[in-house]
Chain A
């Protein structure tokens, strides 16, 4: 349990805090808090945004935001669940340009909407790919 974990637990509704190894820490926060968590980690603690991983699970669309602390080598992975009947979440792109492309990719491959993203256009798929088909969704 690092000092940063303690601060996160105090400031936000963190559940499922797990230290898989000393350098890999996972935790879950509610969907509405992700912008504040990201701001806290990037602006106040100078963590680097590595990437976001999105998976289709039974509980909903799970998005893992990976933040790397370069001075210790620890990766903090913040887990957020987005319900399938309301697949939207606040975008981190306005304050974190590093998240711009990955949010576009998650939007086109999984169908999650990012509110506030400057241009949520498809990034990787071809122009004529049907926009209602999401390749990484389990059912399709």
Chain B
């Protein structure tokens, strides 16, 4: 008998509001209907009313987690339009801020995924070390999120020489802890049992839906804007793309965790190669034309298109966040999962829109469960698996 499980529009598992209607038969999901638009704020309508410099702050606030990727892609689009060359030091600083942002975003996701599997320790520990990262970003850019670093032709602030020891200290700490926790998470048999083989998004589906970022790289599609269309310093420093062929949730988790370690290496390489110089090119006017800028955000490729008619405001500004393509692919990924796993699958694309709240499970028009029903369902599955594999976390709790 088919029943519909609505998830959202406000849901504790998602960082942002979206409405998923799971069509369920017994315990298995057979279909998915997605309703979005709860966070539609009309950026493309507002952009042509702002000047080129003001639009940077508008797009920064599209997302709080990947708040550097959107301004970065926008200034790249304008620089592509006007063929502006950005000074070398500015490119290194842009890369450093972007990679720091990537680490903080992946830590956030791993923490949330841990929480909803029932591993609150994973959540707390990852978010604790994320705080060190946010403090570092506050030192470099002036704020924990919304860095206001990007400017057409360069960056707004320089990295001071006296801050570099603090950066290196935090990087060392992050590298040590990320390596520790990555092994802890990946070696845990219960987490493997929950994530392996679940939420398969085949390579063919991944290509058809045009998915991006870790969602694609976990399904064997080796695309990364930093390698394919490198901007800033990405082609000047050595780094590896992390790709896995397993197509399941475990692959996506592995991609994200290993990318954090890669990012630390990249930041160190940038600091080594940076030399003193200008951080801003001289930009006077934006000529008529069109430009495209794209950047690898933590969730995938962010695509910005701008068109200019020579005046001081853009005529058309198209923004495409990576979750636009990734969330649509949930339709293929969630089929065949149980409800308890479905919530993990829906969160595994790391949807970036906005957060919190209650959900309802209805059967025959009657409310079956209250707010925490689906989380408890997911956590119960983990408990069942723990009795099978043994539970490291309870041993830790017993010691504390």
Contacts and interface: CB of A to CB of B under 8 A. Distances in A.
B36 A100 contact: no
A51 B318 contact: yes
A50 B303 CA distance: 8
Contact of A73 (B207, B209, B228, B315): B228
Interface string A63-106: 01010101111110100000000000000000011101110000
B316 interface: yes
Nearest to B37: A124
Given A51-B318, A53-B318, A75 B292 contact: yes
B368 interface: no
Interface residues of B, number: 32
A24 B228 contact: no
A26 B296 CA distance: 22
B210 interface: yes
Contacts, number: 79
A48 B210 contact: yes
Interface string B40-63: 101011000000000000000000
B324 A51 contact: yes
A77 B306 CA distance: 13
A92 to B, nearest CB: 11
B301 A50 contact: yes
A112 B291 CA distance: 24
A2 interface: no
Contacts of A75: 229, 292, 294
Interface of A: 20-21, 23-24, 26, 46, 48-51, 53, 55, 64, 66, 68, 70-75, 77, 96-98, 100-102, 109, 122-126, 135-136
Contacts of B325: 98
B320 A123 contact: no
B36 A24 contact: no
Contacts of A21: 80, 83
9 contacts: A21-B83, A68-B229, A72-B228, A75-B229, A98-B210, A98-B328, A123-B36, A126-B37, A136-B45
Contact of B328 (A20, A64, A77, A100): A100
B331 to A, nearest CB: 9
B57 to A, nearest CB: 22
Contacts of B316: 53, 55
Nearest to B41: A124
A73 B223 CA distance: 10
Interface in B274-317: 289-292, 294, 301, 303, 305, 307, 315-316
Interface string B206-228: 01111000000000000100001
Contact of A24 (B40, B208, B291, B307): B291
Contacts of B315: 55
B230 interface: yes
Given A21-B83, A66-B292, A51 B320 contact: yes
Contacts of B223: 48, 70
A48 B208 contact: no
A102 B321 CA distance: 12
A73 B210 contact: no
Given A98-B210, A101-B328, A136-B45, A53 B37 contact: no
